Amino acid sequence: MRTILTSGQIRQADEYTITHEPIASVDLMERAARAFVDEFAKRYPQKKLTIALYCGTGNNGGDGLAIARLLYERGYQEVKVTVAHFGSRSTNDFDENLRRLRSRPIPLKEISSAVEVGTEDSDIIIDALLGTGLNKPISGDFELLVKKLNDIRKPVVSVDIPTGFFADEEIPENAACIKSELTITFQQPKINFLLPESFPAVKEWVAVDIGLDQQFIQQLGSPYQYIQAEDVKAMLKKRERFSNKGSYGHALIVAGQPETMGAALLCSAACVHAGAGLTTAYIPQSGLFALNSYMPEIMAIVRDPKSFTQISWSKFSGLAIGPGLGQDDEALTLLKLVTAHFQKPMVVDADALNVLAKYKELWRFLPKGSILTPHMKEFDRLFGEHKNWRQRVETARQWAQERELFIVLKNTYTIIATPEGKVYFNSTGNPAMATGGMGDVLTGVISALLSQNYTPAEACLAGVYVHGLAGDELALPDQRHVVLPHKVAEHVPVVLTKLMA
């Protein structure tokens, strides 16, 4: 896991590293600047580029000055620097880097108001005005300068965070900030980079390591974590040589209506592909033909009232309810039936979530450790309207803890809130996966993992990661505009094999 700290905690980690590594703070700044320049040079290798750096007088500005010097040393000859003295006092490391810069033949202009900025015709702007020290929305000269830089419509690369952007708190409405093409951020993505309201301020980000003390970072106990491949690899269990289908559990998928059988099929198929030993779909009679012709590996129980009393619930090790289920009385009956008889953690998705939103008294029947997988609209139906995603993250965290449930809030970086109060952000997935049916596949994958005896936490974390990675492998190499959910389901075994290798 990569721990995600708040700006305040990053400052603590910074100070701890300076004292205990030990390293002089100006050398830590140099290390950060070097890491920035390494990444910048990879992305923009043409040495002839004209580069304009805009620096504040805090440590973000100090980084900018060091970056200008290092770029020059790397052979970028057309570098120029503007320092904005807009009020705040300068830091010692800024002062030291200004001295170092002055000994190089790099054009330097110092301004005390935004109107002094002339026409800007450089190929690239590097934004080092303000970083994580931001403590209020920018106004006055900062706002004017930011507006000017945005209006030039040249690519802006931000140092650590775009100037004016709130890294981890709720972003105040209409707060002005730099719209950067690329943000090269130090050590870890900032929480708000992973939420939709960061776009277009943060079109793309990349985190570069600056060697902050890892033990100290862990000991801060941040609830926010970013899922990495190694985490999922450590969770996945290889199949044993003398195992059989009974070793991998039996999943029941309660899904589908005559008009929405596709959802039931996709979910059940994904469950089979993700390795459930047996998968049974609990579907209406009208869907039977479609099911049998779509995928013979899936078994069925026909959903007539008689069946309600005939299911032997204990033989199932995993269960999902919701995809394509509709929201009529039958859906309500089924949710009541399932929660009354199935005592293990289950996946609750789609229409079952909408039923849950309407009949709040059903909450208390959900077995502890169950997994809710809402998209944004379902989430707001369940928990009320939210003004932004930062609020949703906190609501998910509180509810997951209070109700002892897992909430998987689907998004570009899917958010998983756990009963322990942790919030994980998924690092796989891409916009080509934004198409109907993709959520049904995710539900199938998670329920397959549950049925194979993975803990609910493992099923959520590995499930979202594997699902996203399958989508990435299909979409990204060919830059595909869209990937189809059934293809993602089919690709899950390939991804699982690679992760287990």
Ligand X SMILES: NC(=O)C1=CN([C@@H]2O[C@H](COP(=O)(O)OP(=O)(O)OC[C@H]3O[C@@H](n4cnc5c(N)ncnc54)[C@H](OP(=O)(O)O)[C@@H]3O)[C@@H](O)[C@H]2O)[C@H](O)CC1
- Binding positions for (6S)-NADPHX are 59-63, 131-137, 160, 263, 324, 375, 440
Task: Could you list the residues known to form a binding site, using ranges.
Answer: 59-63, 127, 131-137, 160, 163, 263, 324, 375, 410-414, 439-440
- Other beta carbons within 10 angstroms of residue 127's beta carbon come to 30
Which of ligand X, K ion, none interacts with 14 (beta carbon under 5 to 8 A by kind)? ligand X
> The sheet that has 205-208: what strands, in order across it?
108-111, 79-84, 51-55, 124-128, 156-159, 182-186, 205-208
Residue 145 near residue 54, CB atoms below 8 Å: yes
Q: CA end-to-end span of the chain, whole Å?
A: 20
CA–CA gap between residue 235 and residue 227 (Å, rounded): 12
Binding segment for ligand X (CB under 6 A), chosen from 58-66, 231-239, 288-296, 360-368, is 58-66
Q: Binding residues for K ion, how many (CB under 5 A)? A: 5
Interface residue with ligand X, options 132, 268, 279, 414 (CB under 6 A): 132
Which C-beta is closer to ligand X: that of 58 or that of 369? 58
Which C-beta is closer to K ion: that of 131 or that of 456? 131
Q: Is 157 in the site for K ion (CB under 5 A)?
A: no
Q: Is 158 in the site for ligand X (CB under 6 A)?
A: no
Q: Is 159 in the site for K ion (CB under 5 A)?
A: yes
CA–CA gap between residue 315 and residue 251 (Å, rounded): 9
Which of K ion, ligand X, none interacts with 127 (beta carbon under 5 to 8 A by kind)? K ion
Which C-beta is closer to ligand X: that of 32 or that of 448? 32
Helix 456-475 vs helix 438-451: angle between axes, to the nearest 10 degrees?
140
The residues, any chain, with a CB within 8 Å of residue 89's CB and separated by 6 or more, are 57
Interface residue with ligand X, options 4, 5, 10, 355 (CB under 6 A): 10
Binding segment for ligand X (CB under 6 A), chosen from 56-64, 317-325, 401-409, 432-440, is 56-64
Interface residue with ligand X, options 5, 63, 396, 492 (CB under 6 A): 63
The DSSP H or E segment spanning 425 is strand 423-425
Q: Is 262 in the site for ligand X (CB under 6 A)?
A: no
Which of K ion, ligand X, none interacts with 58 (beta carbon under 5 to 8 A by kind)? ligand X
Task: Could you list the residues known to form a binding site for K(+), using ranges.
Answer: 60, 127, 163
Beta strands (DSSP E) in 190-259 are 205-208, 224-226, 250-254
Which C-beta is closer to ligand X: that of 28 or that of 300? 28
Burial-class residue 130 by CB neighbours within 10 Å (0-12, 13-18, 19+): buried
Residues present in the chain in total: 501
Least spacing, CB of residue 61 vs K ion, in Å: 9
CA–CA gap between residue 344 and residue 366 (Å, rounded): 9
Least spacing, CB of residue 224 vs K ion, in Å: 21
Interface residue with ligand X, options 65, 70, 79, 130 (CB under 6 A): 130
Q: Is 158 in the site for K ion (CB under 5 A)?
A: yes
Amino acid in the structure at residue 408: V
Closest CA to 61 of 35, 27, 24, 86: 86
Interface residue with ligand X, options 32, 269, 350, 450 (CB under 6 A): 32
Least spacing, CB of residue 401 vs K ion, in Å: 34
CA–CA gap between residue 227 and residue 63 (Å, rounded): 29
Q: Is 142 in the site for ligand X (CB under 6 A)?
A: yes
Residue 279 near residue 299, CB atoms below 8 Å: yes
Residue with the two structure tokens 């690369």: 157
CA atoms lying within 13 Å on the CB side of residue 179:
11
Q: Is 136 in the site for ligand X (CB under 6 A)?
A: yes
CA–CA gap between residue 101 and residue 139 (Å, rounded): 28
Which of K ion, ligand X, none interacts with 134 (beta carbon under 5 to 8 A by kind)? ligand X
Closest CA to 320 of 288, 361, 279: 279
Q: Is 187 in the site for ligand X (CB under 6 A)?
A: yes
Which of K ion, ligand X, none interacts with 158 (beta carbon under 5 to 8 A by kind)? K ion
Amino acid in the structure at residue 230: E
Closest CA to 83 of 55, 121, 106, 63: 55
Residues 346-375 touching ligand X, rule: CB under 6 A, are none
Question: What are the residues facing 157 on neighbouring strands?
Answer: 126, 182
Q: Is 168 in the site for K ion (CB under 5 A)?
A: no
Interface residue with ligand X, options 76, 186, 248, 454 (CB under 6 A): 186
Q: Which two tokens stand for residue 300?
A: 């069925």
Interface residue with ligand X, options 126, 138, 355, 382 (CB under 6 A): 138
Q: Is 97 in the site for ligand X (CB under 6 A)?
A: no
Helix 7-20 vs helix 25-43: angle between axes, to the nearest 10 degrees?
120
Per-residue DSSP letter, 157: E
Closest CA to 264 of 318, 320, 342, 308: 320
Binding segment for K ion (CB under 5 A), chosen from 121-129, 291-299, 304-312, 431-439, is 121-129
Which C-beta is closer to K ion: that of 163 or that of 268? 163
Binding segment for ligand X (CB under 6 A), chosen from 52-60, 321-329, 422-430, 460-468, is 52-60
3-state DSSP helix/strand/coil percent for the chain, to nearest 5? 45, 15, 40
Residues 243-272 touching K ion, rule: CB under 5 A, are none
Which C-beta is closer to ligand X: that of 3 or that of 60? 60
Q: Is 174 in the site for ligand X (CB under 6 A)?
A: no
Point out which residues bind ligand X (CB under 6 A): 10, 14, 28-29, 32, 56, 58-63, 88, 91, 130-138, 142, 159-160, 186-187, 210, 212
Point out which residues bind K ion (CB under 5 A): 127, 131, 158-159, 163
